[in-house]
Chain A
Amino acid sequence: MIRRIAAQARLELALTLRRGESLLVTIGIPVGILVFFTLVDVLPHPGRAVDFLTPGVLALSVVSSAMTSLSISTGFERHAGVLRRLGTTPLGRTGLLAAKLAALAVVIAAQVAVVVGAALLLGWGPRGAAWIEAAVVLTLGTAAFAGLGFLLAGRLRAETNLAVSNALFLIFLLTGGIVVPLSRLPDGAAAIARLLPAEPLATALREAFASQGAGAGTFVTLAVWAIVTCGLAVRTFRWD
């Protein structure tokens, strides 16, 4: 079974590399935002731009690959009958899901390496280096957004899902405390943003790389999102 999942995960990765639009959203946009807003210091933020931006861009990387990219590709594969067909092979539905998650983990690891590399070149100097805590936060965030991605892909029409996944990406980018500090949003909007999964992810990462550790609140919010989206996705997902 491991052999089948590995073969399928390799294919998923090869296909991701072949999709230009997927590379743009998973690598191009996060790194672009990091580099642009570090060099062009127009964003309202406390401290140095790169220190503020890097944790947020790591969060954005998770949103882009675990939700947007995963959701769009899975939606089109469902529409084309690819998921059904693989379901009749020894790989099966469980194997396919495992392969998608394995490929996703590799993509996110690559994103983290690229973003952290670029940030260090731009002079990023995290005061705290709670890498294990950051890894736990990234994993929880990945679960929450992958659950959301599967939830959308499993029910919406492929084209609708394309629009919704991109719109959510933009909403999370703007309200997730990723490029704009939450304090700059209207009070009501900030309160809502704190309940969404992007802001807790960005904040928890920011806290992990600052001297203080991540607050329990962000962990709980992320964990609840992960449980709810994954649970709903499992219950509602349609394979064709």
Chain B
Amino acid sequence: MTAIVCEGLAKRYDDIVAVDDVSFTVERGEVFVLLGRNGAGKTTTVEIIEGLREPDDGTVEVLGRAPAHADVRAQIGVMPQRGDLYAGIKTEEAVRLFASFYDEPDDPERLLALLDLERVRRSTYRRLSGGEKRRLSLALALVGRPKIAFLDEPTAEMDVEGRATTWELVREMRGSGVAVVLTTHELDEVERLADRVGILREGKLVAHGPPSELASDRLPEITVSLASAIDTDTLAFFLGTTIETLHDNTYRLTGATPDPSLVSRLTTWLAARGVLVRTLRVGGRSLEEVYMELTR
């Protein structure tokens, strides 16, 4: 089922065109990433869909209804870019308050534990660090078990563990059929999470589709996804390349031309260890190239 349908969205602030003729759809169980520089129109687009702003032009349907409809509000979770909480509210109090707004909320304790907020459960919002504020904000977006989650630059200000947890939660939501709309200006996040990506530039959607389709192959390299983990140091030494771990059992080989001989040596090494190859792509780290070109 289609979660979000946007048609020709436009929004101007005085003389500035923030969003210009933007159309896309987001399906249930899909992670849709809006990518763009600061000021490209990501937040405005998301806020229109959330019902916080009226578009000057165009239409939005969220779960088949107008964005601000009460039935819609019961089924979405919003993590805004800014903090947006009472300075004096306590962490646990905030999660429990938001839980009380929904009919079948998630367990506040589960989220506090998952997002490493137990230590600061009695701290007021003004005393939380930047990363803690973001994690709390994510907990508040998820506590209502939303059918659509809007995460506006969720991992900005988060530390490594916070990012990993956030990505894990996003994958978990996708797995349970939640539509996730995520904005970022980091390509890394797109590569890790996006089923489809929309690239915004000066309010216009300049490209949109699965990251692999947007990719061209300019800077050749090998990306390999395996059925099990490997010892990257040994393999890197054997091949004479640099190996970067992208996420679980997925690696990127850089620093050597990916000619047939390199591919052959890689697969031979893997075969000797009985490691199953899920995907093997020889091509560009091209999304970045595409992105740099489109947003220049």
Q: Which residues of A contact B (CB under 8 A)?
A: 3-4, 7-8, 11, 14-15, 18-19, 76-77, 80-82, 84-85, 87-92, 240
Contacts and interface: CB of A to CB of B under 8 A. Distances in A.
B50 interface: yes
Nearest to B99: A7
29 contacts: A3-B100, A4-B100, A7-B100, A11-B86, A14-B93, A15-B86, A15-B88, A15-B89, A76-B87, A77-B86, A80-B84, A80-B86, A81-B84, A82-B84, A82-B85, A82-B86, A84-B52, A84-B80, A84-B84, A88-B51, A88-B52, A88-B73, A89-B73, A89-B101, A89-B144, A90-B70, A90-B73, A90-B144, A240-B52
Contact of B70 (A14, A18, A92): A92
A71 B88 CA distance: 17
B82 interface: yes
A85 B97 CA distance: 13
Contacts of A84: 52, 80, 84
A90 B99 CA distance: 10
Nearest to B78: A88
Nearest to A12: B86
A7 B97 contact: yes
Contacts, number: 62
A4 B101 contact: yes
B76 interface: yes
B79 to A, nearest CB: 9
A62 B30 CA distance: 52
B24 interface: no
A108 to B, nearest CB: 21
B73 A18 contact: no
Contacts of A8: 97
Nearest to B67: A88
A88 B50 contact: yes
B43 to A, nearest CB: 12
A90 B97 contact: no
B74 interface: yes
Contacts of A14: 93
Interface string B90-104: 000100011011100
A19 B89 CA distance: 11
Interface in B41-89: 50-52, 70, 73-74, 76, 78, 80, 82-89
Contacts of A81: 80, 82-84
Interface in B205-262: none
Interface in B86-142: 86-89, 93, 97-98, 100-102
Given A14-B93, A84-B80, A91 B101 contact: yes
B84 A85 contact: yes
Given A3-B100, A11-B93, A19-B88, 8 more contacts: A76-B87, A77-B86, A82-B85, A88-B51, A88-B76, A89-B101, A90-B144, A91-B101
Nearest to A3: B100
A90 B101 contact: yes
Minimum-distance CB pairs A-B, first 6: A81-B84, A7-B100, A85-B84, A88-B78, A90-B74, A89-B101
Interface string B135-157: 00000000010000000000000
B75 to A, nearest CB: 9
A90 to B, nearest CB: 5
Which of B50, B51, B84: most chain A CB closer than 10 A? B84
A80 B85 contact: yes
Interface in B270-288: none
Contact of A85 (B51, B76, B85, B102): B85
Contacts of A19: 88
Contacts of A76: 87
Contacts of A240: 52
Contacts of B50: 88
Contacts of B70: 90, 92
A11 B90 CA distance: 10
Contacts of A88: 50-52, 73, 76, 78
A238 B244 CA distance: 49
A91 B85 CA distance: 15
Nearest to A88: B78
Nearest to A89: B101
Contacts of A80: 82-87
A55 to B, nearest CB: 33
A177 B107 CA distance: 54
A240 to B, nearest CB: 7
A40 to B, nearest CB: 35
Contacts of B98: 89
B80 A85 contact: yes
Contact of A92 (B73, B84, B100): B73
A199 B88 CA distance: 34
